[in-house]
A and B are shown apart, each in its own frame.
Chain A
Amino acid sequence: MDAYHLLSEIVEVVWAVVAQITNVIPLPSMGVGGGIEAKETVDFLPLVKLTAAFVAGVAGIFGLGLAITAKKFAVEMDPRIEHVKEVLANAHCGACGYAGCSSYAEAVVMDPEVPVNLCAPGGDKCADAVARITGKVAEKTEPRIARLFCQGGAAESTRRFKYEGVMDCRAAIIAAGGDKTCLFGCLGYGSCARACPFSAMTMSDDNLPVIDPERCTACGKCVSTCPKMVLELGPMASQVVISCHSKDKGPVVRKGCNVGCISCGTCVKTCPYEAITLENNLARIDFAKCQVCGLCVRKCPTLAIRDYMPEREAAYITDKCNGCTICQKVCPVNAASGEIKKKHNVDAARCIGCGICVVKCPKKAIIGTFRAPRKSPVHAETVGAA
């Protein structure tokens, strides 16, 4: 007996049981509805066969038809588009300027003018992969990050009135430009943190957004969300930022905020690289010139300059020193000392780790600051010995 007969026998047995049960219960003579006529009895087995044949037939015809259309109307798609789509971050953040990851993938494959490094969340790794797929040359992009240009949290700044509307910066700004005394400062209602697609922003207890440098991809969503335009994208390496956005004159700034830029010009005079300029009552660091020495951070009277470097190691002079005294001349805090032609020393207590001497030393004898190569031979030895 083959499988088909076995199956039909099983169905017949089951049907006999079902029929016995249903004979006891009266079948409804009406109420099927929808144009289907109710019946007293149904020939079960032929019906199952017919249904199976019909459904299989319809499915077969449609499947065949679809297969033929797909074959006949096949469109040559560049397979590289799919590959590019896979390596992109697929966050659909729109940082590249296209409607989504697939439109960028198509544009970057089809248009030779479109650069490969537009995917901000993907970063360098993604740009390299896209470059390999498309055969374009990847230009190294400097990693960027969103920077907050305000430090006037709840504790440091004053408010003009009590705002009780919707807790959103874009709603708060409608109420006479926001409740903050400083018209340029961060309102602190967290629109940027909510807009961040990568959860890189959190609101601190002081009502200021904190940006996680590990997570921030510099997609710019927060920058476009902030109604006060207090967020900007800057290079990741520029870790010293004048964290104020106020274009008011000094006395006006002081009234509303303890940590605002009062445009006193101290930082402009301090900067050894002439990277800071005063414009519209606001000091600005030119990131191209800034060497991240951190001198201005110490000199600012209102502490408006923010140093994002977690810690600055003190400089250390190795035996390569030939006693040229250049480090003494360049040191802004007089931490380096020593006699000519003899090995110099750096007073670790005084050193602020600006790294200027490391750059200026002609013998490359100074190590220790962030500017020295991370794995200097001496360092490696000490690590090995330990």
Chain B
Amino acid sequence: MDYVKLFELVVAASLINNFVFTRFLGLCIFFGVSKKMETAVGMSITFTMVMVVSAAVSWIIYEYLMVPYDLTFLKIIIFIGVVAALVQASDTVMRKISPVLYYKLGVYLALIATNCIIIAVPLINSGEGYSFIESLFFGLGSGLGFSLALIIMASIREKLELANVPAPFQGMPLAFVTTGLIALAFTGFAGLITL
């Protein structure tokens, strides 16, 4: 197995092509839950988990059912179904097995069900023709990238709470400006790895 390729995939997905800062996906969740560090961390864990699992399941369905039967045009609908079903299942299981975790993360699960980042992972996987292991690592990298974005943003916004911000910039406007600046910084990763 080509470990270098896998490492490159993770770095590319998390830093160079960061979902939030370069692909501009999942922005509603990003702004919604980055107010507090605690929720940001909870959301990051949930997201990464769901991304990896949905990447695996949708890869199996795509490679073994959709490609042989020439049904690849259905992938958006099917992947949405896969993600929604997975999220619902993990919601049910989590409620039973770990109520504490459910109370921490349960509210975010419902938000994930129809999120564009989650659906982007299997779509990119199938589009790029990644192998099973590569898909898993791409999902992991994307999840880590989103976590990184959320945690950076949450720590900045927690500090901004204490700052004396002019009234027109309070809340969302300043969050947008901050995101733009971080996105600018993330372009610095652009030439890091050439695949």
User: Which residues from A are CB-within-8-Å of B127?
Assistant: 34-35
Known interface pairs A35-B127, A73-B96. Does A66 touch B89 (Cβ–Cβ under 8 Å)? yes
Interface residues on B, range: 20 to 34
User: Which residues from A are CB-within-8-Å of B81?
Assistant: 58-59, 62
List A31-68 residues whose CB lies under 8 Å from chain B: 34-36, 47, 50-51, 54-55, 58-59, 62, 65-66
Q: Is A110 an interface residue (CB 8 A)?
A: no
Known interface pairs A55-B78, A62-B81, A75-B95. Does A69 touch B71 (Cβ–Cβ under 8 Å)? no
> Nearest-CB distance from B127 to chain A (Å)?
4
Binding site for B on A (CB under 8 A): 34-36, 47, 50-51, 54-55, 58-59, 62, 65-66, 69-70, 73-75, 166, 171
Listed residue (B74, B96, B97) with the most chain A CB atoms within 10 angstroms of its CB = B96
List B48-105 residues whose CB lies under 8 Å from chain A: 61, 65-66, 69-74, 77-78, 81-82, 85, 88-89, 92-93, 95-97, 99
Q: How far is the CA of A348 from the CA of B73 in the complex (A)?
A: 89
Q: Is the CB of B96 within 8 A of A75?
A: yes
> Nearest-CB distance from B149 to chain A (Å)?
25
Q: Is the CB of A69 within 8 A of B93?
A: yes
Known interface pairs A58-B61, A58-B81, A62-B85. Does A51 touch B74 (Cβ–Cβ under 8 Å)? yes
User: Which of B73, B78, B95 makes the CB contact (< 8 A) with A73?
Assistant: B95
Q: Is B32 an interface residue (CB 8 A)?
A: no
Q: Is B195 an interface residue (CB 8 A)?
A: no
By beta carbon, the residue of chain A nearest B94 is: A73
Q: How far is the CA of A36 from the CA of B89 in the complex (A)?
A: 30
Q: How far is the CA of A59 from the CA of B78 in the complex (A)?
A: 9
Q: List 5 other contacts, CB 8 Å, given A35-B128, A54-B65, A66-B92.
A: A36-B73, A66-B88, A69-B89, A75-B95, A166-B167
Q: How far is the CA of A36 from the CA of B126 in the complex (A)?
A: 10
Q: Is B180 an interface residue (CB 8 A)?
A: no
By beta carbon, the residue of chain A nearest B97 is: A73
Q: How far is the CA of A65 from the CA of B73 in the complex (A)?
A: 25
Q: How far is the CA of A59 from the CA of B74 in the complex (A)?
A: 13
Q: Is the CB of B96 within 8 A of A65?
A: no
Binding site for A on B (CB under 8 A): 61, 65-66, 69-74, 77-78, 81-82, 85, 88-89, 92-93, 95-97, 99, 123, 126-129, 167
User: Which residues from B are CB-within-8-Å of A54?
Assistant: 65-66, 69, 71, 74
By beta carbon, the residue of chain A nearest B86 is: A62
Known interface pairs A66-B89, A73-B92, A73-B96. Does A50 touch B61 (Cβ–Cβ under 8 Å)? no
> Nearest-CB distance from A248 to chain B (Å)?
30
Q: Is the CB of A50 within 8 A of B92?
A: no
User: Which residues from B are CB-within-8-Å of A73?
Assistant: 92-93, 95-97
User: Which of B74, B88, B93 makes the CB contact (< 8 A) with A55?
Assistant: B74
Q: How far is the CA of A34 from the CA of B123 in the complex (A)?
A: 8
Q: How far is the CA of A54 from the CA of B70 in the complex (A)?
A: 11
Q: Can you list 11 residue pairs at the A/B interface with Cβ under 8 Å?
A: A34-B123, A50-B69, A50-B71, A54-B71, A58-B65, A62-B81, A62-B82, A73-B95, A74-B96, A75-B95, A75-B96
Q: Is the CB of B69 within 8 A of A70?
A: no
Q: Is the CB of A66 within 8 A of B85?
A: yes
Q: How far is the CA of A73 from the CA of B96 in the complex (A)?
A: 6
Q: How far is the CA of A333 from the CA of B126 in the complex (A)?
A: 92
Q: Is the CB of B71 within 8 A of A51?
A: yes
User: Which residues from A are CB-within-8-Å of B77?
Assistant: 55
Q: Is the CB of A171 within 8 A of B129?
A: no
User: Which residues from B are CB-within-8-Å of A34?
Assistant: 123, 127
Q: Is the CB of A36 within 8 A of B74?
A: no
Q: How far is the CA of A34 from the CA of B79 in the complex (A)?
A: 14
Q: How far is the CA of A166 from the CA of B71 in the complex (A)?
A: 59
> Nearest-CB distance from A105 to chain B (Å)?
15
Q: How far is the CA of A85 from the CA of B58 in the complex (A)?
A: 38
Known interface pairs A34-B127, A73-B92. Does A65 touch B74 (Cβ–Cβ under 8 Å)? no
> Nearest-CB distance from A83 to chain B (Å)?
20
